[in-house]
Every structure is written in C-alpha cells, then in structure tokens.
Structure 1
C-alpha cells in the first residue's frame, strides 16, 4: 500500500485517480492540440456516429457525462475549429444536432490511439486492458457510477 492510500478514504482515492487521469490525458493530447474535455466530446461523438446515431447536443452531453451548458460551449469552440458541425434539428427547433467533420474525424483518430496507449499504461498494475482484475475494476466503477446519490 502506498503512502498516498494509507489512511485515505475511497472518495479521496477516486478524486486522486481522476485527477491523475485528467492530467495524463491532457499531456498526451497537448501535441494534438486537444484538451481532455474536447477529446471526451469528440471521442463520444465519434463512437455515437459509428453506432449510427446522429445525436443532439443534449444526447451527447448525457452520453459523455458532461453538463449541457459546458457541452454547448465546447461544441461552439469545436465548430469554430472546423471539427464538428452544429445544425438545428428540423423536427425540434430547440435541439441542435452534432456531427464530426472530416477534419474532426482526422483529429480524433490519433487522439483515440494516444489515449488507448495511456489507458494500457494506467491499467498495467491490474493486468492490462484485458486482465480479469481490470474487468472487475470496470464492474466496480460502473456500480459506483450507477448508484443514485439521493
């Protein structure tokens, strides 16, 4: 047990791991000109589109686990950079549909690869991406994320 975890609460350890991951992703993506938050939005949109979804801004926010207002701000920045297109939904004037541009797809692919390598390094102590301890860790994290707070 490390000095960082000795006597620590689970909440503190989750917070530390979250910060470690965010900083590592920001560093890995800096050469590509992306922040962690921009990556989350682009990678989520990429995955949703590959699954055949044409998400609204709200659907993407929910999928990515980001606040709707923050997603809107990020989407505007990514649109200004030519990475996504924002269009009004013809069936609901309040909704905005998002799609990656070709430039956005070209930008997100190397970012996905960089984060995958980083994830492999982070999970190495648990046996790597395909290790049984990683699968158990994923189940535990999912259970915690799905637990209601109220």
Structure 2
C-alpha cells in the first residue's frame, strides 16, 4: 500500500495534469479553429449558448465563462456584430438574455465538427475501459467539489 506522501504526490500530479490537459486542449482547439476566424474568446461562449438550448441570461453566461459584467457586455457586442448572437427583450428590463442566431448555430456546428475530428485524433488509442474509469474518477471529483462549494456558499447540494 502506498504511503501518504506518495499518495499526496500522485494527487498533486493528477490535479496538475488535469489543468495542463485542459490548457493544452484549448490551445489545440484555438490552433485548428483559427482559420475559421475563431479564438477561445469567441468559440467558447458560442458553445455555452448552444448547450443552453435556448436563450441564456447574460449573467449566467458571464458566470460560465468566469467574466465580469463589463467584459461580458463587450464580448456579446462582438458576437452580435458578427451576427452570431442576438439580445432578447425580457419582461424584467434588468435581465439580459442572449441566444444564438441561425448564423451562430451554423458556426457552432462547424466548430463541433472540427472539435470531433481533433478529439478523435487525440483519443484514437484510448481504450474504452480506461475512458470509462477516467470518466468515473472525474465525475467523483466534480461531485465532491460541487458538494464542497455548496457547503461553502450555503447553497443546496446538487443531486448526484
């Protein structure tokens, strides 16, 4: 059985590796999406909007992207200028909702195709069993962190 020091070191290595994989994945996507005129600052909000399956509150998009209110306004202005998103009126004028336009949805579909190709290339030698184990481990980590955040913020814990 490994000693505590060895386990702690492997835990640190795992967290560092996950951060590095995330960073490298985004750099790789930026490289292959650049010919489409997209950077992470542009493709990531489009993907978040597409996943929301409808209009998304500006505040929620800002939170998902870890941006402040002035940054998200500038970002949305730029996406709107490209014709990829539109702002919707809400009964509550304080609430700003954003949704993809048809052109934005087309752009997301093109992004998803490129991402699928890159993902397939990167993971082509990744055995299904190892993928399942890794997904299980990551789900466990995400659940634990969500529970810790809920306790820290006094929010209700999400259902597992």
Band of TM-score, shorter chain: 0.7 to 0.9
Q: Work out whether 1:127 is the aligned partner of 2:127.
A: yes
Structure 2 counterparts to residues 1-150 of structure 1, below 5 A? 9-49=13-53, 53-62=54-63, 64-69=64-69, 70-89=71-90, 91-124=91-124, 126-127=126-127, 131-143=131-143, 145-148=145-148, 150=152
What TM-score results when the alignment is normalised by the length of structure 2? 0.70
Alignment gaps of 5+ in structure 2: 1-8, 153-160
Alpha-carbon deviation of 1:23? 0.5
RMSD: 2.9
Query: How far has the Cα of 1:65 moved from its partner?
Result: 4.2
- Counterpart-to-counterpart distance in 2, 1:146 and 1:94: 29
**Is the contact between residue 75 and residue 84 of structure 1 (CA under 8 Å) also seen in structure 2?**
yes
SS of equivalent to 1:9: helix
Kindly state the Cα deviation for residue 79 of structure 1 after the two structures are TM-superposed: 0.5
Relative to structure 1, is the Cα distance of residues 137 and 119 closer, same or farther in structure 2, using a 3 angstrom cutoff?
Answer: farther
TM-score, normalised on structure 1? 0.74
Contact 1:25–1:115 (Cα < 8 Å) also in 2:
yes
The number of residue pairs the alignment matches comes to 140
Q: SS of 1:22's equivalent?
A: helix
Say which one has the larger Rg: 2
Q: For structure 1, which runs of at least 5 residues remain unmatched after alignment?
A: none
Counterpart-to-counterpart distance in 2, 1:141 and 1:23: 24
